[in-house]
Amino acid sequence: MNRTQEAVLRFLATEALPPPVERIDTHAAVVLLAGDRAYKMKRAVRYSFLDFSTLERRHHALAAELALNRRTAPELYLRLLPVVRRADGRLVLGGDGEVVEWLLEMRRFPQEARLDRVAERGGLSGDLLEALAREIVAFHRAARVRPDRGGIEAMRAIVAGNAGDLAMLSPGILDGETVRRVDARTEAALAAAGPLLEERREIGRVRHCHGDLHLANIVLLDGRPVLYDCIEFDEDLACIDVLYDIAFLVMDLLERGMRRQARDLLQTYGDEVWEDAGQALLPLFLAVRATIRAKVEGFAARIAEEAAERAARSAAARTYLALAAALLVPTPPRLVAIGGLSGSGKSSVARALAAELDPAPGATILRSDVIRKRLFGRRPGERLPPTAYRAEIGGRVFATIEKRAALLLRGGRSVICDGVYGDPGQRRGIEAVARANGAPFLGIWLEAPERVLEARVAGRRGDASDADVAVLRRQRESVDTAAVGWRRVDAARPVPEIAAEIRRLLEA
């Protein structure tokens, strides 16, 4: 940091802002918290991925930050403020004089409302993750399409930049052998991903996204997750594939050991926006995101003034790099189909198992009830008319499941199919998908006494299934359960016990 910036920070902390003033340092900025406001100053730094070395560049970056973040958080981003030097040499905030620095003024929020803090408290509930996924879906749908950006060349530049920065941090902060392993695996994954990256650019999946979408850049305001602090300094880093955008958040959850939450977030996003073919890019996207965090933590360790912070940042950099290496290890996908009459617990069991199937963050669940609603343009909790359950509609639903399962398997993703599967043709169809794609298959048939099934169906609230007791009884009359050749599992037990038995079958 140059002398002018040091003087500006002293002036702000001791004269201009109401005490107490709290300071937050990052590799690229300093944020001062005072009263009900937050003031961000860009550091006069230059990295391979950003250049804030001149006042003009910092002003431009802050102006872009104000405009871009108002897309998602207009209530937080207020205005730009100059720090000026008067003729007598005094510094003042705003007014006439020589501008020596620019600040972004924001409305302050409690730091405990950031989602990284919420995660530390164990507060990432299913409802919150679902709301967050829908918020991201809405943002991506509204984001400007940028076919002039993204694609193989853009990703190649990011990977090359990562490699150069990792080399600067090793040996020393990062282990040289791990760096070489990550570089080699990333290059191999990038080479394989080229055609799909280009295809997605051409069909409009590259948009002006957030670019830095991890938990610390999301805040709960009045109970609603709000995205803020997007990338403003480089369009190449912000105009990206939408899956690369959300991959940062998924990776952040994985690094925190929250694999189930990562999978649930991606599931809700995928239920809204069918990205089945694109998910083949997830290992590359997740690993590149982890590598970016590794180098950011590494650079932060270099400028840390206290030994404890330097050690903590260095350790975090190594953890992220190890995660990147692990995410790039190929893992064969598998297909699990869970059938049974309504009330047998198919969806609950599927959710209990999904995060445990490799590759990370887990299997995609293709639930017939959700897909049927989507085909009719309805939300999972909205009821459909009886005509939506005609046999020909059921054929469309299960054909869609088979098509989506095939795309996911071809992309290396594991799948759990959740449906009654009372029709032998449906069972044969999903088994054929697994064979055609060389994936191990396990078919599970959940069965329970009539009284258990009826009690469960009668007690449902807000579920995607529209089945009631009358529907269950018709299923029981029409389905020849004795002809089902899948592995039979007692579903009258609690879900954890059922899931444990299926896990043993998967391991075997």
State pLDDT tens for residues 425-482. Answer: 999 999 999 999 999 999 999 999 999 999 999 988 888 898 889 999 999 999 999 9
Cβ proximity of 174 and 309 under 8 Å: no
- What single string gives the DSSP state of each residue in 463-486? -S----HHHHHHHHHH--GGG--S
Domain formed by 3-108, architecture: 2-Layer Sandwich (3.30)
- The tokens for 497 are 């016990």
Rounded to the nearest 10°, the torsion over CA 263, 332, 201, 264 is -10
Q: What is the pLDDT of residue 220?
A: 97
Q: What is the pLDDT of residue 410?
A: 97
What is the helix, strand, coil percentage profile of the chain, to 5? 55, 15, 30
Q: What is the pLDDT of residue 91?
A: 94
Q: What is the pLDDT of residue 140?
A: 98
Q: What is the pLDDT of residue 233?
A: 85
In the chain, what are the domain boundaries? 3-108, 115-327, 335-507
Tell me: domain 335-507, CATH 3.40.50.300, correct? yes
For the chain, the C-alpha Rg in angstroms (whole number) is: 26
Cβ proximity of 334 and 414 under 8 Å: yes
In degrees, to the nearest 5, what angle opens at C-alpha 286 toward C-alphas 303 and 124?
85
Q: Specify the length of the chain in residues.
A: 508
Tens of pLDDT along the chain (508 residues)?
788 999 999 999 999 999 999 999 887 899 999 999 999 999 999 887 789 999 999 999 999 999 999 999 999 999 999 999 998 989 999 888 899 999 999 999 999 999 999 999 999 999 999 999 999 999 999 999 999 999 999 999 999 999 999 999 888 899 999 999 999 999 999 999 999 999 999 999 999 999 999 999 999 999 999 999 999 988 999 999 999 999 999 999 999 999 999 999 999 999 999 999 999 999 999 999 999 999 989 988 888 788 899 899 999 999 999 999 999 999 999 999 999 999 999 999 999 999 999 999 999 999 999 999 999 998 888 889 988 899 899 999 999 999 999 999 999 999 999 999 999 999 999 999 999 999 999 999 999 999 999 999 998 888 889 888 999 999 999 999 999 999 999 999 999 999 999 999 999 8
Distance of alpha carbon 177 from alpha carbon 181, whole angstroms: 6
Provide, rounded to the nearest whole percent, the portion of the chain with pLDDT above 70: 100
The three-state secondary structure class of 310 is: helix
The residue type found at 270 is G
Q: What does residue 380 show for φ and ψ, rounded to 5 degrees?
A: -55, -35
The three-state secondary structure class of 365 is: strand
State pLDDT tens for residues 305-336. Answer: 888 998 999 999 999 999 999 999 999 999 99
Distance of alpha carbon 17 from alpha carbon 62, whole angstroms: 20
Domain formed by 115-327, architecture: Alpha-Beta Complex (3.90)
